[in-house]
Amino acid sequence: MTKENLHKFHLEFTDNALLSALVGPHDRHLTRIEQRLGVSLALRGNHISISGPEPEASYAKAAIQYLHSQLIKGFTVDTEEVEAAVRMATATVPLSAEDQILQGDESMSIATKRRMVFPRSNHQAEYMQALKTHDLVFGLGPAGTGKTYLAAAIGVSLLLSGTVERIILSRPAVEAGERLGFLPGDMREKVDPYLRPLYDALYDMLPGDQVQKRMASGEIEVAPLAFMRGRTLSNAFVILDEAQNTTSAQMKMFLTRLGNNSRMVITGDLTQIDLPGGMTSGLWEAVRILRGIDEIKFVEFDEKDVVRHQLVSSIVKAYAADVMHNTPADIKSHARSK
C-alpha cells in the first residue's frame, strides 16, 4: 500500500474507564477490528490511531465511535458487540458510515424485564422498525440473524406496556405435516422439543417465574401450528416460526387467523425447506402472492446479519452459494430477485 492510499485518523477519549472497556482485555477488541477490516490500530495513552485503506479506515473509525457511544449509554462491549459494530459500519455507504452509525435511534432499544435489546445490523434495525409499525411482517433469511429473537422481544415489550393482551408463538411441530401421534409421550411431551427455541427466547426476555405465571394465565401461549385452526387471534402479538415448513393450506389458514388489534410476524428461511418432495412451501407461496400488498412488510436478511459465531456467517454464505446450483427453479428465481 502506498502512502498516497493510506488514510489515518486519530480519536481521543477523555474517560479512561470507558476507554479500557472499549479496547478490551489486552486490546482484544481493537485486535478484532484490525482482523475484520485489515487496518492498523494503535493505542497510545487516551488516543487510538487508525491507519489503512479507504473505506476500511473510515469503517474502523465508525465502529470504534459506535462502541464508545454504547458504553456511554451504559451497555457493555464484548466480542459480539465488536462484531455488530463492524457489521453495521460496513453496511453503510463509505465515508458517511460514521454519521449514519452514530445516529443510533433510541427508539430501537427495547427494555424487557431482563435486558436491553437493540439491533446489531441494519437489517435488524429495519426489521424492528417494521415490527413496530406494521400489522403483518415477514422476516426472511438464514438462521442466526435474530428473526425470532427480535420478534419475541418486541412482543414482550408490547405485552408489558399493555398494547397487546397476549403473545402467541407457534411453529410447525414436525417437518412433514405435524404427525404428532407417532411421537412418544403426552401432547405436551410430543410438541415441546419442536417449540424449545420459542421458550428459550421468552426466558431470555423475562424471569422464569414470570414466564410460567403468564403462560398459566394465558398471556403467553406457545403452541404448534395445528392448534391454530378455527381460532381468531385478537389483541395479540403472534409469531409463526420456521414458516418455510408450512404447507400452502397451513399458511393460508394461519394468515387468516389475524384478528382486531393484533400483529403477526412470519419468520423462515426459504433455503431450509424440509417438506416432502413435491410439496410447495406455504412461506414461498405467501411471499409470491402477497408481495404487492403495501400494508405487509418483507424484511430479508443475509449472512452479513448473522449474530452468532463469526464462522456461522461463513457457513451460511457457503450454503447460499450452493443453493443456487441445487434448488428448484422457482426458489432460485426468488433468491436472484433479492
188-239 pLDDT, tens per residue?
555 566 667 777 778 888 888 888 899 899 999 888 888 888 888 899 999 9
pLDDT values of the chain reduced to their tens digit, one per residue, 338 residues: 455 578 889 999 999 899 999 999 989 999 999 998 999 999 999 999 999 998 899 889 988 988 898 888 777 888 878 887 887 777 654 334 444 444 445 556 676 666 667 777 778 888 988 998 999 999 999 888 889 889 988 998 899 889 999 999 888 865 444 454 444 554 455 556 666 777 777 888 888 888 889 989 999 988 888 888 888 889 999 999 999 999 999 999 999 999 999 999 999 999 888 887 778 899 999 999 998 899 999 999 987 777 655 666 667 667 766 655 555 555 445 544 44
Q: Are residues 161 and 34 in the same domain?
A: no
Q: Domain range spanning residue 58?
A: 3-104
Give Cα 170 to chain centroid, integer Å: 17
Quick one: 60 and 190 in the same domain?
no
Q: Are residues 273 and 129 part of one domain?
A: yes
- Ranges of beta strands (E only) in the chain are 7-12, 40-44, 47-52, 110-111, 116-117, 136-140, 166-171, 220-224, 236-240, 263-268, 296-300
Please tell me the total count of domains within the chain: 2
Task: Note whether 90 and 124 are same-domain residues.
Answer: no
Contact 141/301 with Cβ under 8 angstroms?
yes
The whole-angstrom separation of Cα 326 and Cα 338 is 18
- Nearest partner of 67 among 111, 37, 29, judged by Cα: 29
Which among 56, 79, 104 is the end of a domain?
104
Q: Whose grid coordinates read 487496518?
A: 39
Q: How far apart are CA 269 and CA 274, in angstroms?
A: 11
Residues 302 and 178 in one domain: yes
Q: Do residues 219 and 332 share a domain?
A: yes
All cell numbers assigned to 283: 412461506
Tell me the whole-structure pTM to 2 decimals: 0.70
Q: Note whether 238 and 294 are same-domain residues.
A: yes
End of a domain among 72, 104, 136?
A: 104
Cα three-residue angle 193-196-200, rounded to 5 degrees: 160
77 CB neighbour count, 10 Å cutoff = 20
Lookup: cell for 119: 439491533
Of 81, 104, 127, the residue that ends a domain is 104
pLDDT given for residue 276 in this prediction: 78
